Structure 1
Amino acid sequence: MTVIHLESKKLALCPKYPEESWRKTNPEIFFLPQDEVLNFQGHSVQEKLSTFLPWKISYRNPKDTLVHLSSLKKQFGEACDAIFQKDLNRIILVEIGHGIVDVYSSDALKSTVEFLSAPFEVKSIAPNSDIGFALANRLKASAPHEIIMKLATQGNEKPLIIVTNHLNCNFSQIYSTFKLVLAKGSQAELIIAEGNSQFGVLRHTLVLEENAQLSQLWINITTDDAKNSNSLFEREVNLGENSKFIDAQIMAPHGITRVTSNIVFSGKRASANSSAAVIATHGNFDYEPIQEHKVPQGNSHLNIKMIVANRAKSVFQGLVIIDKEAPQTLAMQVNKNLLLSKNARIDASPRLEILPNDVMCKHGSATGEIDEKQLYYLSTRGFSTAEARKLIIKSFAQETLSLLESESLLLNAAEHALEAALNQLPQT
């Protein structure tokens, strides 16, 4: 594949022969005509292609943190303020908008926090992907710099980082790249809530250095306003030696949405426990989660559940890669799907690429409908059919939150976000 260099006043084009992982989503929808492409500030890319365009980062009064957290009511409902009020002394709120970043950091924190805007490095999230590389070139043109946050915690302090990414965006196109670097031995919790527009490409990167620990809640809940949107969400998690990553995802997409996530094991004895609940009621959702083991003794678990209603379509194509240099690896990937309509569709294609012999690897996928025997049993216990269906669906999805620490703020937030996502399902 040939990618035209960005300095040439032309943008990277979609490869003519897309790889297998794009067989259910036409990649050309993410390659707008170059005269229509805007940058992260809303200007024409062609006019600003060679211009130095860093993000404008501003530090705001932390006393206003709770007021700005109200923008998350679509994600967490009316309980939003109550969820965060008791933990304001450890919150770092990062609001990403059109070309600007506003930071609200608690004065009570002793941790070292640094923000900067640096040139974005072109890289495909999926390994060896021509389309991924071309899309990264496109993203570079629209968002030439990325927002970098470096965090080094002190003692037992565990900051809560909340990133709101274009939640209140009224623009037709949105682009951003955000990177969090968690220093050696540090620990933190992270909530990322991403919005959408008619067209958007949002990427975030998490770097966990040696012995670092991070728990993440990744949320994308959209409404009917986005039913004609095209959205691409990308994530890379890079794990250093002995680092630990816990991840829960809640997604309620509309329109055409593709998510590519790659958890890369770069250090020995790193572990990742990841889960996702996808509630699709409209449009097409394409999810490609990757577990890429490059070094020995890694441990990764992935549990993804999809609930698909109406005429929505979802694609799951998980991939586990274990390099030759990564023996003694344990990797598991499970996908379970629930169809709520005769017209809903799910295409599941779990994949394995394993080179060494000394590994333990499992994967599987299952798709079905609500069990009539379960409905009957609940009806004998006094539940109406609608109540029984709602209980079964909620129980199916809620299992994905079990890896979050009991009675933690992250679990409380995740339960409210899941409830908001499930409320989008048709009531029958």
Structure 2
Amino acid sequence: MSLIHLENKKLALCPKYPEESWRKTNPEIFFLPQEEVLNFQGHSVQEKVSSFLPWKVSYRNPQDTLTRVSLLKKYFGDSCENIFQNELRRIILVEIGHGVVDIYSATELKSSIEFLSAPFEAISIAPKSDIGFALASRLKASSPHEIVMKLATHSTEKPLIIVTNHLNSNFSQIYSAFKLVLSKGSQAELILIEGSSQFGMLRHSLILEENSQLTQLWLNVTAGELKSSNTLFERNVSLGENSKFIDAQIMNPQGNTRVTSNIVFSGKKAIAKSSVAVLSTQGNFDYEPIQEHKVSQGNSHLNIKMIIANRTKCVFQGLVIIDKDAPQTLAMQVNKNLLLSKNARVDASPRLEILPNDVMCKHGSATGEIDAKQLYYLTTRGFSIAEARKLIIKSFALETLSNLESESLLLNVAEHSLEIALNQLPQE
């Protein structure tokens, strides 16, 4: 392994003039001083940087899958083991942490599964973002390779992929780039759980080729003790022709957290339905979803709900982009926010950038408190004020899981995860 000593080489700095999408967020908090930046193996990037730093990919005994999954009780509750007991024949468990990837793959699966560690380009998730590119360059410096998983399913098989990303961090900084490529006509379910540290930059990319289908449950859970953490989550989804992407997200951020999610419609007649539940009790949270239509006949729908308590500040900066070559596009973006405290705050900025005429686009945002009339109605029906309040909040949040199939495994898992997040909200 050859090492390159950094003497004159400098890491990317934060651009001097932040673009519009960063107006309400101080981008400097995501740019550590060069001498403090580590790589994905915990070494200083100034001391040594390898021109070839692959992830160490190891295949583990699939008989240990249930034991490993049972460790996720923090996210799925005590019934975690029972939930996945009957799914072992189709589970692919991927554990990512500090330069090491452990894989537990069911032997019964006949689908083609390939893992590799490969160099990746430093590109911005957000289009035309200088800050996004500078951050991507820093991610590239700290994690020169990305973990690539290629999946081509056999017949009617629908593998369940569970990815845990730095859930047990041993370092003050975490970096990773993970990519899933779903081949033509393939179908799969994905549960992605991302952890946190004092500083983190985590990116995942999803590529859905022609006629493929993916249902994702994305959990961002920042450890409660990391009140001063700075974490950047990035996601880039590329949809091929006739592909379908169903997405549910549950986010329970602490500290300073920013999420950028870009769904790019690269093929005709692609469909993407995303829903997000954000439950935050402290810190600053910034969510920037982008629906980027590059070709015609795309269909995208985003529904994001934020439940904010205490002195939390949240920012929603949604963007729908419809290029001139994307007529007959249907795009919707809905944002609703529930404030549980007089001191909580949400800044919402839904935006549209539309070039063709033959499109149908809608967007909107609304923010409010718990309705006193609803509380009164439920208390007259025998509920205490605390019970009524909890019921209203839960009903508000549960709508974000409506994209998931009824009685499906992902819906079951999502309901348990949402219940855990709801229990962390203040009761009064």
TM-score scaled to structure 1, two decimals? 0.98
The residue that corresponds to 2:187 in the other structure is 187
Structure 1 vs Structure 2 CA RMSD: 1.0
CA distance in structure 1 between the aligned counterparts of 2:306 and 2:103, rounded to whole angstroms = 34
- Per-residue CA deviation, residues 131-152 of structure 1 (Å, 9 max, x unaligned), is 0000000000000000000000
Q: Which amino acid aligns with 2:195?
A: G
- Indicate conservation of the 8 Å contact 2:196/2:223, yes or no: no
The match for 1:16 is: 16
* In structure 2, C-alpha distance between the alignment counterparts of 1:199 and 1:423, rounded to whole Å: 26
Q: Distance in 2 between matches of 1:367 and 1:7?
A: 51
Matches within 5 A, 1:103-142: 103-142=103-142
**Cα offsets for 1:47-66 (capped at 9, x unmatched):** 23243100000000000011
**Which amino acid in 2 is paired with 1:165?**
N
Structure 2 Cα separation of the partners of residues 250 and 51 of structure 1: 37
Q: Find the residue that maps to 1:419 and give its secondary structure.
A: helix
Q: 1:249 to 1:258 in 2, by over 3 A?
A: same
Whether 2:254 is the aligned partner of 1:254: answer yes
Aligned letter for 2:396? F
For residues 111 and 264 of structure 1, the distance between their equivalents in structure 2, rounded to whole angstroms, comes to 26
Distance 2:245 2:289 in 1: 15
Q: Structure 1 residues 407, 7: closer, same or farther in 2, change over 3 A?
A: farther
In structure 1, stretches of 5+ residues that fail to align are: 1-5
The SS at the match of 2:71 is helix
Q: How many Å separate the matches in 2 of 1:48 and 1:88?
A: 41
Displacement of 1:8 in angstroms is: 5.1
Deviation by residue 1:234-282 (Cα, 9 ceiling, x = unmatched): 0000000000000000000000000000000000000000000000100
Mapping of residues 226-265 of structure 1, within 5 Å: 226-265=226-265
Q: CA deviation at 1:300?
A: 0.2
Q: Which amino acid in structure 2 is aligned with residue 215 of structure 1? A: T
- In structure 1, C-alpha distance between the alignment counterparts of 2:203 and 2:223, rounded to whole Å: 21
Which sections of structure 2, spanning at least 5 residues, go unmatched?
1-5
- State the alpha-carbon separation in 2 of the partners of residues 318 and 232 from structure 1: 17
The answer as to 2:208 corresponding to 1:174 is no
- Per-residue CA deviation, residues 163-198 of structure 1 (Å, 9 max, x unaligned), is 000001121000000000000000000000000000
Query: 2:94·2:101 contact (CA, 8 Å) conserved in 1?
Result: yes
Counterpart CA distance in 2 for 1:166 and 1:300 is 30
Aligned 1:309-328 pairs, distance under 5 A? 309-328=309-328
SS in 2 for 1:343: coil
Distance 2:398 2:227 in 1: 25
Match of 2:345 in 1: 345
Query: How far has the Cα of 1:70 moved from its partner?
Result: 2.4
Structure-2 residue corresponding to 1:82: 82
- 2:195–2:223 Cα contact (<8 Å) kept: no
2:307, 2:338 within 8 Å by CA — same for their partners in 1?
yes
- Asked if 1:66 is matched to 2:66, the reply is yes
Alignment check: 8 A CA contact 2:303 2:333 kept: yes
Per-residue deviation at 1:7? 9.7
Residue 417 of structure 1 is matched in structure 2 by 417
Q: 2:73 is paired with a residue of what secondary structure?
A: helix
CA 1:120–1:7 in 2, change beyond 3 Å: closer, same or farther?
Answer: farther
SS in 2 for 1:373: helix
The answer to which of 317-326 and 71-80 deviates more is 71-80
For 1:6-405, list aligned pairs within 5 A.
9-405=9-405
Q: Distance in 2 between matches of 1:333 and 1:342?
A: 26
CA distance in 2, matches of 1:33, 1:377: 55
Measure the CA separation in 1 of the matches of 2:236 and 2:370: 34
SS at 1:404 equivalent: coil
70-79 or 363-372: bigger deviation: 70-79
Among all aligned residue pairs of Structure 1 and Structure 2, give the percentage whose two residues are the same amino acid: 81
State whether residues 7 and 49 of structure 1, in contact with CA within 8 Å, keep that contact through their aligned partners in structure 2: no
Distance 2:182 2:43 in 1: 33
Q: Does the 8 A contact of 1:7 with 1:50 survive in 2?
A: no
For 2:184 and 2:54, locate their aligned partners in 1 and report how far apart those are by CA, in whole Å. 27
2:376 aligned counterpart, secondary structure = helix
Deviation at 1:424, TM superposition (A): 1.0
Contact 1:164 1:192 in 2 (8 A): yes
Structure 2: how far apart are the matches of 1:47 and 1:416?
Answer: 44
**Partner residue of 1:3?**
none
* Structure 1 residue 210: Cα displacement: 0.1
Q: Residues of 2 paired with 1:317 and 1:79: CA distance?
A: 36
Q: How far apart in 2 are the matches of 1:91 and 1:225?
A: 31
- Code of the residue aligned with 1:323 in structure 2: it is D
Alignment correspondent of 2:3? none
Paired amino acid for 1:208: L
C-alpha contact 1:98 1:166 (8 A) present in aligned 2:
yes
- What's the offset of the Cα at 1:80? 1.1
SS of the residue aligned with 1:82?
helix
- Matched AA of 1:278: V
| Kept after mapping to 2: 8 A contact 1:286/1:316 | yes
Asked whether the equivalents of residues 234 and 259 of structure 2 are also in contact (C-alpha less than 8 Å), the reply is yes
How far does residue 403 in structure 1 lie from its aligned partner after superposition? 0.8
SS in 1 for 2:127: coil
Which whole-Å deviations, capped at 9, do the CAs of 1:255-312 have from their partners, x for residues lacking one?
A: 0000000000000000000000000100000000000000000000000000000000
| Partner-residue secondary structure (3-state), 1:304 | strand
Is the 2:196–2:221 contact (alpha carbons within 8 Å) kept by the matching residues of 1?
no
Residue 221 (structure 1) shift: 2.0
